[in-house]
Structure 1
Amino acid sequence: MPRRRRTSPNVNHLNQKPPELFEREVDDIMFTETDAKWVYYPHTDALVIKMKIGMVNVHRASVDTGSSADVLTYDAYKKLGLLDKDLTSTGGHLYWFTGNSIGVKRTIRIPVTLEEEPYAATQVAMFTIVDQPCAYNVIVSRPLLRAMRMVTPIHHMTVKFPTPTG
């Protein structure tokens, strides 16, 4: 009798395509020197953007292409008017900027909208909530960058992303 191979339900297979942000063909994303007209060189600045979390505009969102967790500070979470009962308990550790380990106890899935009028795109993000002081309200990292197909060239200090309208 042949052995059946057991598979885990959270294993991604190559034949499984991730859900599309939207159905239409995506245009090429290009950057020109005009996109960098407000950048003063040389720079080593952090890339900081504004985004809408739920229905609230949130400033001081840092884009961190080297991190693997989208982080929302507990202080910013409370200012969004969200309730603690909406948080999901979880376990694990997050290694902070200083190299210190922080115990993670809560997460939340919440819609995030990036917009530059008249274009906008929305995606649900899983945020890790940390009760730690931070210069930023949000740290956007690889999971949300990939889900929204965001392109982040450091030279231009901007992000571009496809939207349903272009």
Structure 2
Amino acid sequence: MDRYGRELKDKPLTNVNHLSQRPPEFFEMEADDIMFRENDAKWVYYPHTDALVKKMKIRTVNVHEQWWILGARMMLTYDAYKKLGLLYRELTSTGGHLYGFTGNSIRVKGTIQLPMTIGEEPYVVTHITMFTVLDQPCAYNVIVGRPLMREMRMVTSIHHMMVKFPTPVEVGFLKSCQY
């Protein structure tokens, strides 16, 4: 709310009218439009309330059929952390707890930076990502946070059960696996 209050008093913090003030692009194809067409929804069964299920690579390990939720940060269960072949001593200890909607707390084991790759060749993007490792079993192995989605310029469509993102070649996409 602080930002909106400041914008009422002062000029807006962002200005879409002046392209010279936009942040620099990481690669040329980033300026391409990302669009979803009805054909993108082929093989999606309606009505659905399914979560987006995607394939990704964390470090050098293919992590298949992980659930993507739009959380505030990147989270990884400790069980998935161990399955990636990572050792406890590689974690940066942070301690503390995360609190959910019900007020229940989950103990945080620590944090670690890992490369995360999405897409299929040649439409791939890799980003070094800070994961918070949770010390509790969870229905999801990986929770993808909004900040990463913003940095990777990902666009989701629940209707199409798809995520699209710019790559150095052209727009890449991940279709959801439905069960």
Q: Scaled by the length of structure 1, what TM-score is found? A: 0.81
1:64 corresponds to: 69
If each structure's strand is expressed as a fraction of its own residues, which one has the higher value? Answer: 2
Distance 1:116 1:98, change over 3 A: farther
* Equivalent residue in structure 1 for 2:115, among 91, 107, 111: 111
If each structure's helix is expressed as a fraction of its own residues, which one has the higher value? Answer: 2
Q: CA deviation at 1:159?
A: 0.6
Paired residue type of 1:136:
Y
Supply the distance in 2 between the matched residues of 1:73 and 1:19 (Cα, whole angstroms): 34
Tell me, what secondary structure is at the counterpart of 1:40? coil
Quote the RMSD (CA, aligned, Å).
2.3
Supply the distance in 2 between the matched residues of 1:112 and 1:58 (Cα, whole angstroms): 10
Supply the distance in 2 between the matched residues of 1:45 and 1:119 (Cα, whole angstroms): 25
Q: CA deviation at 1:61?
A: 2.3
Distance 1:79 1:18, change over 3 A: farther
Distance 1:117 1:23, change over 3 A: closer
Confirm or deny that 1:81 pairs with 2:85: yes
Q: CA deviation at 1:104?
A: 1.8
* Equivalent residue in structure 2 for 1:51, among 56, 63, 66: 56
Deviant stretches of 4+, over 6 Å = 16-19
2:17 corresponds to: none
In the alignment, structure 1 segments of 5+ residues that lack a partner are: 1-12
Supply the distance in 2 between the matched residues of 1:112 and 1:106 (Cα, whole angstroms): 18
The share of aligned pairs that are identical, in percent, is 68
In the alignment, structure 2 segments of 5+ residues that lack a partner are: 1-12, 15-20, 171-179
- Aligned 8 A contact 1:58 1:137 in 2: no
Bigger mean CA offset, 88-97 vs 33-42:
88-97
